[in-house]
A = this chain, B = another copy of it.
């Protein structure tokens, strides 16, 4: 008896269920503002609502979609709420969601040019567009010796940059015989945890990551950087990379790229610039000072999945010497050989990243840039920056609050004047209200609240409401009530 396959979704069913899924998402985005921002479930609640064993027989798709409301929604912390001011945003938009849908529908693997030329070429093309849109150095354009690629995250971008830097410093020896124990890497005390994670993964070791002190704005001190590198070199270490941050996660501080770049150039170190959050601001010419000196960098990344309306994952990673990156990550087994690769005329993005496989992520980026236009993307940034400046003024004028670090772009860090404990209480009350979501950090050694204005649909009304809530609760905390 021949085996017969499973019941697939017919194209007509796909249309019907697809419309229902689109309706569900549309309704979610209409309603999201009304949900408590932070999920209120307790550990185990979601699992308790699920059957302990998987279904043996097929279920109706209607039942599956229905469980989104019953099982999933209570366990969602609403990153797409306009009242989400926590962490950094992961904003999104209609065209991006639909780009992701089309990408899933095409279901191609972009590991090689050959395995879908459009997946590779659209990505190269749109990343070149972003060089123009952000005014990035021409060295990052694919027309030069460099180029861009989409990574899942700034963490992976940092790891790729580090591996390339490690190989440049060791003339490829680390890939063959292992990372020598004398490699050293530099980043400020305020750099993202992904840098230390990359240093560990790459076999360099946390002890060899020098955390360079910062100035009163929490930006890396280039003099301290130079001293640290030189001291290491004198004792026989092999300094290989500096990571400068344009917009730190904790307080949105900007390391001085030009001075750091000069330190790196003089000493032959790879400079990686992490602008995961802030890079999007460079869409606006008046904000491009955040990238001053970027032409001295060997690699750079920013995340359209944070503040440029492209849903996660979409980190744009650029190098000025693509050969250095590809040489570090390329292995060509027989089962991947193909005529296009052998001509050397094409880009095979598998050699620009850690995984082999890759989705067609350029589609959503292309959809977003076209649907909004450069003008629309700039309008988003300008609105958020303007609202943040107003908010910083309000906070600065409040008797119970004080600014904890210089506000830049779309982040304000502030403290309660009664101290760390009062700040933590304030945060807890604001978040418990469900009306806004903020997260804490430590700035200059003291507890601070962070408020980041970056969600797609956050407007004046939401910032005003969040401020009113913060102001009222800060007064209550001050009054001891």
Contacts and interface: CB of A to CB of B under 8 A. Distances in A.
A122 interface: yes
A8 B180 contact: no
Given A5-B383, A101-B104, A58 B201 contact: no
Contacts of A346: 43
Contacts of A17: 94-95, 98
A312 B76 contact: no
A22 B104 CA distance: 11
A441 interface: yes
Contacts of A97: 14, 18, 101, 104-105, 107
A45 to B, nearest CB: 7
B331 A197 contact: yes
A46 interface: yes
A94 B14 contact: yes
Interface stretch (A204-212, A253-261, A317-325, A468-476): A204-212
Interface string A426-443: 000000000000011110
Given A9-B371, A357-B313, A4 B55 contact: no
A115 interface: yes
A209 to B, nearest CB: 10
Contacts of A11: 26-27, 29-30
Contact of A76 (B106, B197, B201): B106
A100 B101 contact: yes
A441 B336 CA distance: 8
Nearest to A356: B155
Given A90-B357, A108-B79, A57 B383 contact: no
A186 to B, nearest CB: 15
Contact of A54 (B45, B180, B369): B369
Interface stretch (A289-297, A400-408, A456-464): A456-464
Contact of A156 (B207, B355, B380): B355
A94 B8 contact: yes
